[in-house]
Amino acid sequence: MKYKNDLEKNAKLMVAPGKGILAADESSGTIAKRLEQINVESSFENRLAYRDMLFTTTDLNKYISGVILFDETIRQTLYNGNSVPDYLSQQGILPGIKVDKGTQPFALHNEEFITNGLDGLSARLKEYNELGAKFAKWRAVIKIENNLPSEACIYANAHALARYAAICQDNGIVPIVEPEVLMNGSHTIEKCYDVTKLTQEVVFDELAKLDVMLEGIILKPSMVISGDTCESQAEPDLVAEMTVKCLKATVPANVPGCAFLSGGQSDVDATVHLNLMNKKYDLPWNLTFSYGRALQHPAIMSWKGKKENVKTSQEILFHRSMVNGLASMGEYNSSMEDKVS
């Protein structure tokens, strides 16, 4: 494979011990909702101000290995005069890029979705490579409800993920493979386990069919967790146990690491679950985080679009990055939540 060494090197850097990934790849619609929470208009300048606050956080590189960017963001210039990817690279943080084009209804399958974005992907990746991107992300969405997901939905999304991963590697870009099993619903943790296990089995089957080099990918899985409206919410120890059991049943040992999505968990729950997995279990891969809301939410609520709040908000982001970095080594404890520094 042409880019074998670069892919392996960058994949390992993305899941380096004690570090994880900041997901800052919100689409225009999602970032607008985030800013709306703090009564800030989603203008180009306000989006830049928010991202500048995040990315120029002092010592962020101690606990963040990479940042997933959106198309607008990878083209932006920070207030210090550096382009976003150049500045991140200078800090030793790998720039990444969201390349899927979102979801659309899956034909003949009510209430299920397929992810778009394969058309023209190779050309887009070539441009993103020139802009400085070292990795990419593609998210598939699997919904649990009554008789869902259908096998057709799982297979179609898994095949799209594999095609995306192959195109990435053909362009020297590490693919983050994200088959998200949504936590929305009343399903039990046992149901979540069954769906997540099947989904990940099919994803790795499809990756193998397309000769994707597993040493040059990162898996971004969901944790195995109770549905958010399930009457019986699983305790953290059970979440850790079931998630690790699922990973060991489906993820080959030559995958460098898994960087979990937070998927609607609270900031602290996402940290606690990650810590327990690393503290209690012997694992063949590095388990870390690729959190968006669980890292950003406390910071944006502090920032409120005001310059005078930037330093405090950056301290909050650094703190959440730190506690998750420690959780990725099983070294977190709840007393760390009492201080922000």
pLDDT-based confidence at residue 65 (cuts at 50, 70, 90): very high
Mean pLDDT of the chain, nearest integer: 97
Residues 274, 289: Cα–Cα separation, whole Å: 8
Does the pLDDT value for residue 338 go beyond 90?
no
Nearest CA among 22, 90, 15, 21 for reference residue 299:
22
| Amino acid type, 124 | R
**Beta carbons within 10 angstroms of residue 316's beta carbon:** 23
pLDDT tens-digit series, residues 154-172: 999 999 999 999 999 999 9
pTM to 2 decimal places: 0.97
pLDDT-based confidence at residue 340 (cuts at 50, 70, 90): low
Q: CATH no. for residue 226?
A: 3.20.20.70
pLDDT tens-digit series, residues 170-217: 999 999 999 999 999 999 999 999 999 999 999 999 999 999 999 999
CA distances (Å), origin 140, targets 63, 137, 180, 299: 27, 10, 6, 27
Residue 180 among the catalytic residues: no
CA distances (Å), origin 209, targets 166, 204, 205: 10, 9, 6
Contact between residue 295 and residue 325 where contact means Cβ atoms under 8 Å apart = no
- What are the DSSP calls for 261-311, one per residue? --TT--HHHHHHHHHHHHHH---SSEEEEEESHHHHHHHHHHHTT-GGGHH
| Helix (H) or strand (E) run with residue 154 in it | helix 151-170
Token pair listed for 221:
């899985």
Contact between residue 219 and residue 177 where contact means Cβ atoms under 8 Å apart = yes
Which pLDDT score is estimated for 339? 63
- The total number of structural domains in the chain stands at 1
pLDDT-based confidence at residue 341 (cuts at 50, 70, 90): very low
End-to-end CA distance of the chain: 44
**Beta carbons within 10 angstroms of residue 167's beta carbon:** 21
Contact between residue 324 and residue 318 where contact means Cβ atoms under 8 Å apart = no
Q: How far, rounded to the nearest angstrom, does the alpha carbon of residue 209 sit from its chain's CA centroid?
A: 24
Q: Where are the beta strands (DSSP E) in 145-302?
A: 174-181, 218-219, 257-260, 286-291
Among candidate residues 98, 134, 220, 241, the one labeled active-site is: 220
pLDDT tens-digit series, residues 297-333: 999 999 999 999 999 999 999 999 999 999 999 999 9
- SS3 for 209? helix
Residue 72 structural domain? 4-338
What sign does the CA torsion over 253, 256, 261, 266 have?
Answer: positive
Residue 337 among the catalytic residues: no
Q: Average pLDDT for residues 293-300, to the nearest whole number? A: 96
pLDDT-based confidence at residue 1 (cuts at 50, 70, 90): confident
Does the pLDDT value for residue 28 go beyond 60?
yes
Among candidate residues 178, 180, 206, 241, the one labeled active-site is: 178
| Helix (H) or strand (E) run with residue 96 in it | strand 94-98
